[in-house]
Structure 1
């Protein structure tokens, strides 16, 4: 079975999450990814978080999946020559160092495009390659703060909060993969050769947050965090707990679905109340709506709530734990949790689902230097040359690092 990106070669100079995730997402659909780590200094994701039973980092297993691993000191003249030969054969290069690092190392975009004018370069940094904050260091949480996400998350009388996953880094990985595909398509259409994608980590979340900016500038409304309710409360919904201790999220996205929800929790009297005739009117009385839903849900079991909501075609979704995610029948039916041969660790599979050229997980994250010899041989290096590079410390081979 052919995969849509099987002819694309990606060089990954990234580390941690944001840049590497872009490569991982594309590797799921067939792109050949060569991840470069310096000998003796591997990606910290190998060690961050819990270890699987075999001692390998669980996070590394999924973030490093489908990638070939090259141990190379690309800052030495000999290592730089190896990098040049790889770049000459590549379609994409991904890096997420602080702004200016590549230039100081002598391999900025001008040099890279001198080696390969058709190379697409994704540059991920905290605040972008230009502007007054370009040299300021940043991590994902700083980006979540700058994007406005933290400000809108939490209770009105409590502190801003971060979500329970690395939202900024993850959305940057997704946006980076999208940018790469845009650039490759432009190259294929003859609109550009290789171009540079300049992506700041805060920008991906800022783009997905989206509506607070026009709400403020156009409608003069400033969203505020609102606890179990939506920041702007423009439609009924929220988070509620049943009498048997199960958390549900309830939502309605139109006047019609809102009336079905109101009918489920309060009967015709509530659904036909003129205060709730439109979403606009409803938004002015959202506290009463929230209280009505809360009063209904909290005195009923999960089964009772689900049965009543089903009768009215209203929406309530159970909040799943990770344990429940891995056993949920819909998720399993969609094959969204996958395994690979000889691995006990399961991971989330390729998404989205393509009907003819679906993605696949071929292997999980490999050890340091796992593919160094193979990659160098493919570039034309003889075994004696590889041995000499290894002896001088310019490359590392499989089994030499923990």
Structure 2
């Protein structure tokens, strides 16, 4: 089902393979946990950046334990989120740990962190201190509400950010509780925003002779940025967009419809050519002359009646048959896929979005591929994340900072690494 992939190195090895890709030569220090920060650095690592991930000695990133479904006690998300990373342990709260962190950052291009605002400053690792030592350092900060404003010091998770940023309000059905998307969407949006900011800051620094800077990414604002026309619609017209369930309020037909075998499909025929094709395909060319459906405005006004007609047709056909009919008719359509359906979908296999790797802890493992697809410098999912805490301590501390056996032993004994 999944395409085999030969990783560019062995997970947990003491000497990582030389990275390739458009970000090869960029060194990133990850000082964060769970989703937003680690997802941002995972994207950078997929495209060749050398990512060094700091975890707290003894406990590590809580993501190691996240996930209801496990393989022999292992939460499999860790293998994906920490791929292409060198894992070290370091307690930056200790003076010796802070000094080691500063020395690491002297050798880095980017720092990514997702603590509550003020945490780095409390540890003596704020942007002012860091830029005094390394003016070219790019510091990406991800938090619930941003580094400033009246909410800056509030704890922030994706759930709250999606709510405050407006996404939750328009999700779901009218007059019902606002549901979540089924994933930590706000965290992932913030991670992608931070990664974009890092790339722009790198370009500014390296192509234009610029210096380092701070990227201030808020979960709330990453969600708010997706609100399409809602800001001018309200600011100018006083219109509040309400949740609309499965339909697009001003476009028809565009909805989900149930098939004879109990599956759901999306059909979107909201352009005139698409509308004509759909009518002929479902054997209802008479609808083209129906005054209710003659214009887009009429189809929107009579959306419920139109959806009932299309639902009647889909209820007479299995999903596979609908796929064959609508694809042949060139009508915009898509099955509502579960993850099991995706594993069977040839599009994902052909596009290398289901890749089989050999995880040293759990064996063969299917992992998501890399997005986006670059023609000249494609990304590489690389090795899965190592499971051993501090798996790359020797490599990083010896090769990058020049520490010897006695120094490493003393730091370990003190709980610093």
CA distance in 1, matches of 2:277, 2:170: 28
Paired residues of 2:327 and 2:333 also in contact (CA < 8 A): no
Paired residues of 1:62 and 1:365 also in contact (CA < 8 A): yes
CA distance in 1, matches of 2:270, 2:104: 50
User: Where do 1:3-402 residues align within 5 Å?
Assistant: 3-50=21-68, 52-190=70-208, 192-218=210-236, 220-230=238-248, 232-265=249-282, 267-342=284-359, 343-366=363-386, 367-378=388-399, 379-395=401-417
Distance 1:112 1:24, change over 3 A: same
1:252 positional shift: 3.2
1:370 positional shift: 0.5
Q: Which moved more, 1:86-95 or 1:74-83?
A: 74-83
In structure 1, the residue corresponding to 2:140 is in which secondary structure? Answer: strand
Paired residues of 1:255 and 1:277 also in contact (CA < 8 A): no
Distance 1:329 1:142, change over 3 A: same
Q: Which runs of 5+ in 1 are unaligned?
A: 396-402
Q: Which moved more, 1:307-316 or 1:372-381?
A: 307-316
1:266 positional shift: 5.6
Paired residues of 2:98 and 2:123 also in contact (CA < 8 A): no
> Which gives a bigger RCO, structure 1 or 2 (Cα 8 Å, sep 6+)?
2
TM-score, with length taken from structure 2: 0.89
1:54 positional shift: 4.6
CA distance in 2, matches of 1:204, 1:283: 31
Q: Which runs of 5+ in 2 are unaligned?
A: 1-18
Instruction: Give CA deviations for 1:33-79 in whole Å, capped at 9, x if unaligned.
Output: 11101112311100011454353321111111111111001121111
Paired residues of 2:92 and 2:123 also in contact (CA < 8 A): no
Aligned residues: 394
Distance 1:9 1:167, change over 3 A: same
Instruction: Give CA deviations for 1:174-212 in whole Å, capped at 9, x if unaligned.
Output: 111111101111112226310101011121121123232
CA distance in 1, matches of 2:104, 2:295: 60
Distance 1:221 1:234, change over 3 A: farther
Distance 1:299 1:214, change over 3 A: farther
TM-score, with length taken from structure 1: 0.92
Paired residues of 1:88 and 1:115 also in contact (CA < 8 A): yes
Paired residues of 2:98 and 2:124 also in contact (CA < 8 A): no
